[in-house]
A and B are shown apart, each in its own frame.
Chain A
Amino acid sequence: MIIAVVGGKGGVGKTTASLNLGWALDAVIVDADLGATDFPQSQGPGIHDVLAGRIKSNEAVERIGPVDVLSANYATEGARASDLQRFPEAISRLERTREAVIIDCPAGLAQDIGVFLNAADFAVLVTTPKLPARADAARTRELAVELGTPLSTIVVNKVPDETYNSEACEQLCTEIEAELRAATLPIPYQSSVATTQADSLPIGTVEPDSAAAQQFETLAERQRGIIVR
């Protein structure tokens, strides 16, 4: 299965969701943020080399910490030769050997997002409780619907503790479900998620009993149940 992790707005936690979901599903994570990656970078060839036709996608996958990544190491020469038309072939090459492929998508709504969504079997949409993030998420959802890529889960990320542990959380999720029309999954704000991510570590490897780690595991569990045609 190919899962696009999309969001619309930057900073909502797309890379966090990709890293944690990818680890839980033993997936290969494709860092598709070609211009401004915040994913750990490898020293070797990356997605730019794949999209420039210099190397096959499966040959550019590298183990970074506990996850396999096709990284966006844009410090490599010739990044300008990247051609999005090579993306579908690159992804299907990875899918042949891996159970799951996660596409960590950039922010925005340019043609690259269209190509990534189009290559995916379904998408996980990430937002925060804040209204601007939800508005951007709604636009991304619209594009996914137009392209016929279903949304499996809306991750409501960085929910403040006081909301997460109260009835307000359910109310928030119901509201977002009405806006974005897919099942939601709240994830509490937890500062350790970001600090461990800086070392390419999913929170599940460091604090497996924390609320955030358990919610990411639930996210993975929900995707495992999806049958891809």
Chain B
Amino acid sequence: MVTITTDTKRRQGVTLVRATVTNSKATTQTVTVESQVDGPTWLPKQNGTVVPEWTDETWSAVLEPGESRGLGFATPGDPTDTPVDIVSVSRSEPAEVGNEQIIASLEDWSPPTDPSTEQQ
């Protein structure tokens, strides 16, 4: 199953929420978790942009079998027993690889050099 453990810290009027999501299933799972705190969610940023797993108040990621992922956010709202919770878990289907991707993964090809240019 997919489990979540959480803890919170309140500091200078801000609640810091940390969570660890673990997939103990034998298959890859797509997991979505959501803030349960009453108040706005301040999303973590990396290099000036919001961490890609986050959209609005939900965090979504693909977890391989046995994989654990950590996440965190801040909020001015008060801490609760369950500050963040799993809202959906679904088995990830392997991504369809298109022929264009297969071709792109092959060794680069470049057109032959121009004989007229070479002679110059």
Contact = CB atoms under 8 A, between A and B. Distances in A.
Contacts of B107: 108-111
B106 A110 contact: yes
Contacts of A111: 103-104, 106-109
Given A80-B117, A118-B103, A147-B102, A35 B108 contact: no
Interface in A71-130: 74-75, 77-84, 108-115, 118
A112 B115 CA distance: 20
Interface string B76-120: 000000000000000000000001001110111101111111000
Nearest to A148: B99
A50 to B, nearest CB: 12
B99 A79 contact: no
A36 to B, nearest CB: 8
A82 B112 contact: yes
Given A110-B109, A111-B109, A79 B114 contact: yes
Contacts, number: 57
Contacts of A35: 112
Interface residues of B, number: 15
B113 A79 contact: yes
Contacts of B117: 80
Contacts of A148: 99
A141 interface: no
A200 to B, nearest CB: 22
A146 interface: yes
A158 interface: no
Given A80-B117, A111-B107, A146 B102 contact: yes
Contacts of B114: 77-80
Given A118-B99, A147-B99, A148-B99, A80 B106 contact: no
Interface of B: 99, 102-104, 106-109, 111-117
Interface of A: 34-35, 48, 51, 74-75, 77-84, 108-115, 118, 143, 146-148
